[in-house]
Amino acid sequence: MSGFKKTLLFVSLSSLLAACNDSNESNSSAENITPVPFNPVEATIADVHRSITTKGANCVSIVQSYLDRIEAYDKKGPTLNSIIAVSPTALQEAKALDDYYLKTGQLKGDLHCVTVLPKDNIDAVDMANTAGSKALTDNFPLDDAYMIKNIKAHGGIILGKANLDEFAFGFGGSSSNPNGGQTKNVYDLSKGPGGSSAGTGAAINASLALIGIGTDTGGSIRIPSAVQGLVGLRPSLRLVSQDGIIPLAPTQDTAGPMCRKAIDCAILMNSLTGYDAATSSNQRNDFDRLSPLVSSAAQYKTMYSVPESYVPAATESLQGKRIGIVKAMYAQPNSSGVMTEDGTLVNQAMEQAIAKLTAAGATVEVVEINDLSKIFSTYSSLSSYEFKTALTVYLQSTQSIFKSYADLQQSGLMIATFNNYDRDPTAQTFIDGYALNTTTRAPHVRGSLNSALDNTDAAGEFKGLSYDALAYPTMTALASDLGKGPSAGTNNRLSPFSGFPALSMPAASVTSTRSTYPMNVNIEFIAREFDEPTLFKIAVAFEQVNPARQVPVHTPAL
């Protein structure tokens, strides 16, 4: 046994003995509580806290259980390659939380001893922020990103950094990079994990950490959530500070939770939000990218309708909820009129989800989104317009030896794909395209979505009662073969093009001739700007009547 492992074992046993001694000294009522052991497989935040408060486990043993799973499944066995780095301080932080609990009898916060795995494009001290690139292996941040500070303040433990497509370049990528290798789909190791938050998705699906954080420019939280059977939220633009996140397109970027249970994503959301005075927060007082930043916590909370908590009531149900189904966003036949097997299975899963929603008391009606085909064909992502400049701004605030996009390009350490992003901002095609996608796009898409949600016609007249959310399949196909980008379709664009929040969650598992294992299909709900609370209410209630998530067979309990 290595010296490192001996040290971990000593710390774990010492802490467990301390917990036992404390238990012996507790009063008689505490002695009557039955200890609840901790099992990391499919564990929830409530499970962690139940084990700690009943003295069935302490934080050191809980964190060690996840480290053991990483060792067994990420670098050995199925070799998921979902994690680029493990925190060197995770067990020390766990011991500090154990000491805090033994001293005060209280949990530090709603994330006490919750292992969190952020994507490796988010700053966290003591670990390099590499964005999956060989060029940034020495990019150690000076401080934590705003959201990481919040998570630690709430008692969370940053367990490590998750793998991704290099520089988060495109959810359609192969989810492989020179720094972290090829991430695999935990359900079927021969299938792709979805990108670009591939590592977060695979790790959370495999229970290598309790909850995760992804980033989403086009679909990079929701696509891996869809193929890995997770709940993933792309929050409203501006709501979550972008401080300490390596940018792809700041006008379109955001970060959000990825979890096995909707309630855990809601709890994590409490730590991801909050006013940040940093100039890189992107928390502006208007949707226009050039508008000034919000000036105070009070303005932030009022303008963005931030609740005291995103966690729904335990009694939340679907009774009375109104959902508009966008059937135009279902999988469609090809130009020859032929529907693929993937498309058929996705559409069948959606119909099963609608039946469950309706049976639980929700009203589900078919709706149309004005100019939907035009929206998808006219506009594009901003990454090729903003990445070059935004990355340079980030690098100038770090310890990286490279200080600009040009430096990285000249190093030869970036993948060749990024040469396509070395665009001339003075070219007329660049100017026209950027104006179209920053000035014209948002008002058009936001107007169409609000009209559909409000259930109004082109003249603004109400056609009926408004909807709480719209719904459609996250992807119009199933997971691709490993090494190929998923055939995701265009549905993922609605949220980033509008800035409205979208939540993706399991709808059903399907049987495909392309896999010997069940394959997951996710339904996506999109709501009005800053109406994340409604999305969490729908998701938590829908999970209760439709427990569609499947536990992967390749990563069982140790």
List, by residue number, the catalytic residues: 119, 196, 220
To which residue do tokens 């998808």 refer? 376
Element (H, E) at 29: helix 28-31
9/58 Cα distance (integer angstroms): 13
The two structure tokens encoding residue 189: 């190791």
Element (H, E) at 521: strand 519-526
- Specify whether the CB–CB gap between 99 and 143 falls below 8 A: no
286/174 Cα distance (integer angstroms): 36
The two structure tokens encoding residue 420: 């396509």
- Specify whether the CB–CB gap between 53 and 72 falls below 8 A: no
Q: What residue type is 122 in one-letter code?
A: I
To which residue do tokens 């084990």 refer? 51
519/112 Cα distance (integer angstroms): 33
Strands (E), 183-303: 211-215, 231-234, 255-259
152/321 Cα distance (integer angstroms): 35
- Specify whether the CB–CB gap between 83 and 186 falls below 8 A: no
425/369 Cα distance (integer angstroms): 33
